[in-house]
Amino acid sequence: MLLTDRLAPAFGAVAGGPVDPVVRRSQHADFQSDAALALARRLGRPPREIAAAVRDRADLADLCSSVQVSGPGFLNLTLSDAALAEMVGGLAGDPRLGVPAVARPETVVVDYSAPNVAKEMHVGHLRSTVIGDAVARLLEWSGHRVVRANHLGDWGTPFGMLIEHLVDLGEAEAADDLSMGDLDAFYAAARAKFDADAGFRDRARLRVVALQGGDPDTRRLWRLLVDLSEHYFLTVYDLLDVTLTDRDFRGESSYNDLLPEVVADLDRLGLLRDSAGAACVFPPGSVGRDGEPLPLIVRKSDGGYGYPATDLAAIRQRTGELGATRLVYVVGLPQRRHFEMVFAAAGQAGWLTAPARAEHVGFGSILGADGRMLRSRAGGTVKLQALLDEAVARATELTRTRNPALGAAEAAEVGRAVGIGAIKYADLANDRHRDHVLDWERMLSLDGNTAPYLQYAYSRIRSIFRKAGVTVRPDAPVPLAEPAERALALELLGFAPVVAEVERGLEFHQLAGYLFRLATTFNAFYERCPVLRAEQPVRDGRLLLADLTARVLRQGLELLGIRTPERM
Ligand code: ARG
């Protein structure tokens, strides 16, 4: 935004190098910049002194009625009404609503969803899918080249027993079971045989050897299992309305051929050490509770490769072949240590060096209403499809009772948008590091920080235009006489800085919190400032503010993967 553009050169001059001014909405002024604090640490100078130097240098006279150093070293910026009106007016003709495309687009790999073949997707995969999809959408909209990588768990020793179980059942029967999405039952039945029957165990072991050796019939059966599971996952993605497609599957198996090279490279670099027959890397900085360095096992003592080796091969391929400079891993917090070690080892091997970097976007669990891990009534894992179906059914029911005038087809469509939106929003609106409780009442409520609240605010604005049969005049003068108008105008300018902030830190609750504030500010404005009954030119100006609010809500929710029905 304009304030950022004006502050950046001043910060740059004071710092002697580029600095992001980190402009955000402020409670004490219109906007504030916090960058002096971090810069002070870097330069070893008092932050207030830096803030004052920036204030003296920055070219803000035509924009701000006041620029003040406050607190530990914030710069508080108050816009003049003329500048505010001008800036908001500028949003009207801008399809990107003030959000510039990034100056230096990167190739970013977003590794997300990643369920496991022949296993039910659990709520951890749901969170990964929802958060990862928001990451992909936002980075793409910001102008980066995004590669979606669905690191499907499609390899490993369990495939011996899974294939043998498939052979026992007969292919047709197995295909039937799996296409019903009953993945866990299939897996459990294979496991039960494996545990109880020594003969089956032997067959399963031989099968693993045949699979690794590339035996054509075994490969075909394996592929069948993978295809059936992928088909099921795609139905879940479709229901969930995420952007993942069949072209995004990059299963663990796709790195198999690279694994020997990865190990050879590590060996040549002198990074491998033997630990009880296994080939390991000991990345710096990873120590166990006893203070001993922790091994990252790249080749097991039986010669097989495991999860870490595959992730190393994937990094090598993503930075090397794909030329990615930002690698994002949307995976639950329990895997934090794994990624720390893998990233460190990849750095040592030279596969992850600046400007390329990797980040683990971790998240907590989804808990049931009782505050415990989410379980089905029978005590097993919750079937994701059933959870989503329930969300849609509940939302459709609520839509029908709230608005009986909607036809059945439209009510179903609105129900889908609201139900799925509620699930996604409840996930994204919370600090992702924390566990969050799945509470149907709360997430489907029209009050509070929920998807339905935002969707309703959007549809209400749309209905103003529809009912009055008016369109927006993009060049209407922005009215600022009423405090509620000024507050809304400022909130609209806050979209660009919040998108920039989320682009950096991938903390989506900041975007959700912003959209919630925007909707709340709009509702306060709408209560105090009549729109259609106002005199011209205020009427057109207020319509402009209303239209901009709707556009920001729609764009913001779209970045979160949430639809905005025109009526609800
Ligand atoms: N399939 C794994 C799981 O279910 C997640 C994989 C995450 N991605 C990765 N590159 N390791 O836990």
Q: Is 306 touching ligand 1 by the criterion CB < 6 Å? A: no
64: which 2 tokens?
């701000």
Q: Quick check: 225 pLDDT over 90?
A: yes
Distance from C-alpha of 31 to C-alpha of 90, rounded to nearest angstrom = 18
DSSP 108: E
Q: 277 C-alpha to center of ligand 1: Å?
A: 26
256: which 2 tokens?
């198999």
Residue nearest ligand 1's atom 8 by CA: 151
For tokens 């097989």, name the residue: 304
Q: Which residue has the higher pLDDT, 378 or 398?
A: 398
For tokens 């080796």, name the residue: 309
Domain span holding position 472: 451-559
Q: What is the pLDDT of residues 33-88, one digit of tens each?
A: 999 999 999 999 999 999 999 999 999 999 999 999 999 999 999 999 999 999 99
Q: Quick check: 484 pLDDT over 70?
A: yes
**In the prediction, which pLDDT does 368 show?**
83
Q: What is the pLDDT of residues 166-211, one digit of tens each?
A: 999 999 998 888 877 678 889 999 999 999 999 999 999 999 999 9
Mean pLDDT over residues 160-168, rounded? 96
Q: Which atom of ligand 1 is nearest to the CA of 116?
A: 1
**In the prediction, which pLDDT does 378 show?**
61
Whether 130 is covered by a domain: the verdict is yes
- CB atoms < 10 A from the CB of 499, how many? 23
**In the prediction, which pLDDT does 377 show?**
61
The phi and psi torsions of 32 (rounded to 5 degrees) equal -140, 155
Residues 228 and 274 in one domain: no
Q: Quick check: 491 pLDDT over 90?
A: yes
Q: Is 116 touching ligand 1 by the criterion CB < 6 Å? A: yes
Q: 153 C-alpha to center of ligand 1: Å?
A: 7
Residues 545 and 501 in one domain: yes
Q: Is 114 touching ligand 1 by the criterion CB < 6 Å? A: yes
Instruction: Name the amino acid, one letter, at 101.
Output: A
Q: Is 331 touching ligand 1 by the criterion CB < 6 Å? A: yes
Which CATH number belongs to the domain containing residue 27 in this structure? Answer: 3.30.1360.70
**From 123, 131, 151, 342, mutation site for ligand 1 pocket: most ligand atoms within 8 A of C-beta:** 151
Q: What is the pLDDT of residues 103-126, one digit of tens each?
A: 899 999 999 999 999 988 888 899
Q: 342 C-alpha to center of ligand 1: Å?
A: 13
Whether 97 is covered by a domain: the verdict is no
Residues 457 and 554 in one domain: yes
Distance from C-alpha of 368 to C-alpha of 365, rounded to nearest angstrom = 10
**In the prediction, which pLDDT does 289 show?**
87
Which of these, 295, 319, 328, 321, lies nearest to 309 by C-alpha position? 295
Residue 413: in which H helix or E strand, if any?
helix 408-428
Q: Quick check: 155 pLDDT over 90?
A: yes
Residues 356 and 259 in one domain: yes
Name the band, by pLDDT with cuts 50, 70 and 90, for residue 372: confident
Instruction: Name the amino acid, one letter, at 403.
Output: N
**Residue ending a domain, choose from 243, 265, 283:** 243
Residue nearest ligand 1's atom 4 by CA: 115
Q: 203 C-alpha to center of ligand 1: Å?
A: 28
Which CATH number belongs to the domain containing residue 489 in this structure? Answer: 1.10.730.10
Residues 275 and 137 in one domain: yes
Residues 345 and 475 in one domain: no
Name the band, by pLDDT with cuts 50, 70 and 90, for residue 379: low
Residues 267 and 308 in one domain: yes
With beta carbons less than 8 A apart as the criterion, state whether 239 and 395 touch.
no
**From 335, 339, 343, mutation site for ligand 1 pocket: most ligand atoms within 8 A of C-beta:** 335
Residue nearest ligand 1's atom 5 by CA: 114
Q: 169 C-alpha to center of ligand 1: Å?
A: 29
Q: 50 C-alpha to center of ligand 1: Å?
A: 44
Instruction: State how many domains the chain has.
Output: 5
Q: Is 111 touching ligand 1 by the criterion CB < 6 Å? A: yes
Whether 85 is covered by a domain: the verdict is no
Instruction: Name the amino acid, one letter, at 110.
Output: V
Whether 471 is covered by a domain: the verdict is yes
Arithmetic mean of pLDDT over the chain: 94
Q: Is 547 touching ligand 1 by the criterion CB < 6 Å? A: no
- CB atoms < 10 A from the CB of 285, how many? 9
**In the prediction, which pLDDT does 220 show?**
96
549: which 2 tokens?
């609010």
Q: State percent of the chain over pLDDT 70.
A: 99
**In the prediction, which pLDDT does 386 show?**
85
Residues 274 and 236 in one domain: no
**In the prediction, which pLDDT does 376 show?**
64
Q: 530 C-alpha to center of ligand 1: Å?
A: 53
104: Cβ contacts below 8 Å, ≥ 6 apart: none
End-to-end Cα, the chain, rounded Å: 33
Q: Is 151 touching ligand 1 by the criterion CB < 6 Å? A: yes
Q: 516 C-alpha to center of ligand 1: Å?
A: 32
Residue 510: in which H helix or E strand, if any?
helix 508-528
Whether 367 is covered by a domain: the verdict is no
Q: 208 C-alpha to center of ligand 1: Å?
A: 21
Q: Which atom of ligand 1 is nearest to the CA of 307?
A: 11
**In the prediction, which pLDDT does 545 show?**
98
Q: What is the pLDDT of residues 235-250, one digit of tens each?
A: 999 999 999 999 999 9
Q: Quick check: 301 pLDDT over 80?
A: yes
Q: 331 C-alpha to center of ligand 1: Å?
A: 7
Residues 357 and 265 in one domain: yes
With beta carbons less than 8 A apart as the criterion, state whether 550 and 461 touch.
yes
449: which 2 tokens?
């920080």
Distance from C-alpha of 504 to C-alpha of 428, rounded to nearest angstrom = 16
Check: complex ipTM more than 0.95: yes
Residues 268 and 232 in one domain: no
Name the band, by pLDDT with cuts 50, 70 and 90, for residue 380: low
Whether 92 is covered by a domain: the verdict is no
Residues 50 and 123 in one domain: no
Counting Cα atoms < 13 Å in the Cβ hemisphere of 105 gives 13
Q: 76 C-alpha to center of ligand 1: Å?
A: 44
Q: Which atom of ligand 1 is nearest to the CA of 152?
A: 1
Distance from C-alpha of 71 to C-alpha of 395, rounded to nearest angstrom = 46
Instruction: Name the amino acid, one letter, at 505.
Output: G
Whether 520 is covered by a domain: the verdict is yes
**In the prediction, which pLDDT does 342 show?**
98
Mean pLDDT over residues 206-234, rounded? 95
Q: Quick check: 547 pLDDT over 70?
A: yes
Distance from C-alpha of 29 to C-alpha of 288, rounded to nearest angstrom = 48
**Residue ending a domain, choose from 214, 243, 272:** 243
The number of angstroms, rounded, from the C-alpha of 240 to the middle of its chain's C-alpha atoms is 14
- For every residue of 218-269, which 3-state class applies, written as one string? HHHHHHHHHHHHHHHHHHHHHHHCCCCCHHHECCHHHHHHHHHHHHHHHHHC
Whether 100 is covered by a domain: the verdict is no
Residues 238 and 305 in one domain: no
Q: What is the pLDDT of residues 309-358, one digit of tens each?
A: 999 999 999 999 999 999 999 999 999 999 999 999 999 999 999 999 99
DSSP 373: B
With beta carbons less than 8 A apart as the criterion, state whether 365 and 385 touch.
no
**In the prediction, which pLDDT does 175 show?**
87
